[in-house]
Amino acid sequence: MKNNTRRDFIKSSAAVGSFFILPSGLRAKSPNSKICTAHIGTGGKGRIDTMYLAKHSNVEVIGLCDVDYAHGKMDTWSKQFKSATAFQDYREMLAKLDDKIDAVSISTPDHTHYPATMDAMERGKHIYLQKPLTHKLKEARQLAEFAAKKGLTTQMGIQNQSREAYRLARHYIQEGLIGKVTKVYVWSFKTWGYDGEPFKEKSEVPGTLDWNLWLGTAPMHDYVSKVYHPGQWRKLLDFGCGTLGDMGIHIFDTPFKALDLKDPKWVEADCREPNGFGHAEKNMVRYGFNPTKYTTDNFTFTWWDGADAPRHKNNPDLMLPNGDELPKQGAVFVGENGRMVLPHCSMPTFYPDSVTKNIPKTDIVGVDHYTQFLDAIEGKDKTLAGFDYSGPLAESLCLGVVACQFPGKRLNWNAKKMKVTNLPEANPHLKGRYRKF
């Protein structure tokens, strides 16, 4: 009863709106002011997510779940969070701790994002979900719509968005420092793809791992050591979104937010022919968007990944003076009055130098993405990467992943109907197929 009162309070304060300042002292009257969290996927990035969320003074970790007790570091966690209960199956954790949980953090491979998040949101939980939000385009739309309907606080794990460098970059673009933007080039040198043959051998499943739970709703595959788990799943169609999903979502974010980009009109890709198994190791994806108040009418947006990215190095837009080198991953914004180079996770630089003479004064500082989420649950802040923003961002990215299955073909996109209008064979790639597990 005590807990219910507090939880109802947390739910209703977040549901009032995404930004709601509580009258001072109201939370202090709550019988127990802790936000009780449960964590799905506690190894890899989940280790960092759990650590950062738990650092907040108002958080109490009550549930920890990983399908692999060893990779999920359950021994270490159980010493650190003595009152938390450990699970291997997130469905069991959500069902058993249901009325005690306020917020759920999900840091599993991409294919599990949608089913785990939906389960938690149906129970009214606030969600911190890792990027790229979802594995399939339609899942992103469904999560965003459902979170809005339930009035839940949400945040996608694109933590750089809240840091000073990206906030300043957005501010400078929107203040018109380089004029209206005509072209954006985005890239990553990473190669989260697999061009080889399907794996034929099988390995023994480690004793600490429940392979059926790891697969979850994905199609059945035999376990092969070091091919899927941990981390390598990114390269494979059934589990991840390739380099586009891994790094693209971080790097697309600043141009999307700064230029207020919405649904693409079309997308086209250049990569190897699909092999039905792995994402291509090298991709080029080009998007067409409607112009916005920050772009020219003929605005273009181009992504490269893999070795040699960004390709077309003889393109004058990508040649820097004074021997300056392009970053290994990041973005170049080409404006009517100059260029902004934004290395991934670093401060922007401008060409020509004279552009910086007009740098507008600002008091923008970085904030912590996790704290922002927890404060938003309490009605004290607003998340920058809530599903209302990150849903459409993830949709554009997932559409690029689909285009890579049809290299050389332009996919015309009707966002309202969620349909590729000129290539019906692309549409089945927009949705998931869910195995019972």
Ligand X SMILES: NC(=O)c1ccc[n+]([C@@H]2O[C@H](COP(=O)([O-])OP(=O)(O)OC[C@H]3O[C@@H](n4cnc5c(N)ncnc54)[C@H](O)[C@@H]3O)[C@@H](O)[C@H]2O)c1
d(C-alpha 359, C-alpha 347), whole Å? 14
3-state secondary structure 178-239: CCCEEEEEEEECCCCCCCCCCCCCCCCCCCCECHHHHHCCCCCCCCCCCCCCCCHHHHECCC
| Shortest distance (Å) from residue 422 CB to ligand X | 31
Residues that bind ligand X (CB under 6 A): 40-41, 43-46, 65-68, 71-72, 90, 107-110, 112, 130-131, 157, 159, 213-214, 216, 229-231, 246
Query: How is residue 103 annotated by DSSP?
Result: E
Which residue lies nearer to ligand X by CB, 157 or 255? Answer: 157
| Shortest distance (Å) from residue 21 CB to ligand X | 29
Which residue lies nearer to ligand X by CB, 330 or 338? Answer: 330
| Shortest distance (Å) from residue 110 CB to ligand X | 5
Q: Where are the alpha helices (DSSP H) in 128-178?
A: 137-150, 164-174
Which residue lies nearer to ligand X by CB, 210 or 317? Answer: 210
Which residues neighbour 139 within 8 Å (Cβ) at sequence distance 6 or greater?
113, 114, 133, 431, 432
Which residue lies nearer to ligand X by CB, 214 or 303? Answer: 214
Which residue lies nearer to ligand X by CB, 67 or 332? Answer: 67
| Shortest distance (Å) from residue 44 CB to ligand X | 2
Q: Is 85 helix (H, G, I), strand (E, B) or coil?
A: strand
| Shortest distance (Å) from residue 398 CB to ligand X | 13
Which residue lies nearer to ligand X by CB, 67 or 394? Answer: 67
Which residue lies nearer to ligand X by CB, 131 or 141? Answer: 131
Contact 114, 139 (CB under 8 A): yes
Contact 29, 90 (CB under 8 A): no
| Shortest distance (Å) from residue 148 CB to ligand X | 22
| Shortest distance (Å) from residue 88 CB to ligand X | 7
| Shortest distance (Å) from residue 217 CB to ligand X | 9
Query: How is residue 135 annotated by DSSP?
Result: S
d(C-alpha 44, C-alpha 105), whole Å? 13
Q: Is 125 helix (H, G, I), strand (E, B) or coil?
A: coil
- For strands 410-414 and 264-270, give the pairing: antiparallel
Which residue lies nearer to ligand X by CB, 107 or 153? Answer: 107
Which residue lies nearer to ligand X by CB, 89 or 263? Answer: 89
| Shortest distance (Å) from residue 304 CB to ligand X | 20
| Shortest distance (Å) from residue 265 CB to ligand X | 27
- For strands 181-188 and 329-335, give the pairing: antiparallel
Of 197, 410, 190, nearest in space to 282 by CA: 190
Of 387, 396, 388, 401, nearest in space to 418 by CA: 396
**166-202 b/e (C-beta count within 10 Å ≥ 16 → b):** bbbbbbbbeeebbebbbbbbbbbbbbbbbbeeebeee
Which residue lies nearer to ligand X by CB, 163 or 419? Answer: 163
| Shortest distance (Å) from residue 69 CB to ligand X | 9
Which residue lies nearer to ligand X by CB, 180 or 190? Answer: 190
Cα dist. 349→46, 188, 310, 318, 344 in Å?
32, 18, 18, 13, 12
How many Cβ atoms are within 10 Å of 22's Cβ, its own excluded? 14
Looking at beta carbons, which residue is closest to ligand X? 44
How many Cβ atoms are within 10 Å of 404's Cβ, its own excluded? 26
Both structure tokens of 60: 């109490």
d(C-alpha 322, C-alpha 350), whole Å? 13
